[in-house]
C-alpha cells in the first residue's frame, strides 16, 4: 500500500510530505538579500545589529517550521497532520491556493480529536485553549505528483464545511 492510496473507505487523502529544497533555497535567498540590504543601508550600527539578528532568527524559524509536517491526512469530517508520531487535528482556515506547481494550505489547530487513528496530541508550543495557525507550502519536491494531483482535485471539487471535508 502506498501513501497515495486511501487506507480506508472514509479516508480521502494520505500525503507523505518531505522538506522542500526549492522552498529552502528561496527562503535563504530572501533572508540573505535582506541581510545584505541592512548591511548596505546607512543606519546606526546598533540598529543594524538588531535588525540583522532579527533576520537571522526569522530564517532559523522558517527552516524549523518547514521540518514540522511529515504527513497530511484528510478523511470525511477530519483533517490532521503528523508531527513525529503524533497526529495534530486541524481545519482549513481559508480558501487554499492551488495550482499544478504550488499548493498553500492555511491551517488552524482544532480541538476535535475524534475519528483520527493513532496517537493524537498537541504540537510543541500549541495550546488547545488558543487556536494556532500554520501555513503548509507544498512544492513539486515536497510530495509525489499523484498526491499533489489528488489534493488539488479534493480541494477544488470536494465540499468543505467548517474547514473540514464533509
Q: Which residues form the domain of 32?
A: 23-66
pTM for the complete prediction?
A: 0.72
For residue 10, what are the β-bridge partners?
none
103 assigned to some structural domain: yes
Q: How far apart, in Å, do the first and last CA atoms of the chain sit?
A: 25
Min mean pLDDT across 127-131, 135-139, 143-147, 158-162 is at 127-131
143 with 75, same domain: the answer is yes
Question: What percent of the chain stands above pLDDT 70?
Answer: 80
51 with 110, same domain: the answer is no
42 with 84, same domain: the answer is no
5 assigned to some structural domain: no
100 with 154, same domain: the answer is yes
1 assigned to some structural domain: no
96 with 42, same domain: the answer is no
- 94-112 pLDDT per residue, tens: 778 888 889 888 888 876 5
103 with 154, same domain: the answer is yes
Amino acid at each position: 500500500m502506498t501513501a497515495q492510496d486511501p487506507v480506508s473507505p472514509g479516508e480521502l487523502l494520505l500525503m507523505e510530505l518531505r522538506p522542500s529544497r526549492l522552498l529552502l533555497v528561496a527562503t535563504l535567498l530572501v533572508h540573505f538579500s535582506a541581510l545584505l540590504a541592512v548591511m548596505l543601508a546607512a543606519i546606526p550600527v546598533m540598529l543594524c545589529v538588531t535588525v540583522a539578528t532579527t533576520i537571522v532568527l526569522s530564517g532559523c524559524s522558517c527552516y524549523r517550521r518547514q521540518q514540522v509536517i511529515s504527513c497530511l491526512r484528510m478523511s470525511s469530517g477530519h483533517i490532521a497532520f503528523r508531527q513525529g508520531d503524533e497526529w495534530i487535528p486541524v481545519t482549513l482556515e481559508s480558501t487554499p491556493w492551488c495550482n499544478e506547481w504550488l499548493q498553500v494550505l492555511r491551517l488552524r489547530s482544532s480541538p476535535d480529536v475524534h475519528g483520527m487513528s493513532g496517537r493524537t496530541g498537541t504540537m510543541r508550543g500549541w495550546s488547545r485553549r488558543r487556536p494556532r495557525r500554520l501555513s503548509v507550502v507544498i512544492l513539486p519536491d515536497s510530495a509525489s505528483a499523484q498526491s499533489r494531483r489528488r489534493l488539488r482535485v479534493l480541494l477544488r471539487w470536494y465540499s468543505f464545511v467548517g474547514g473540514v471535508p464533509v
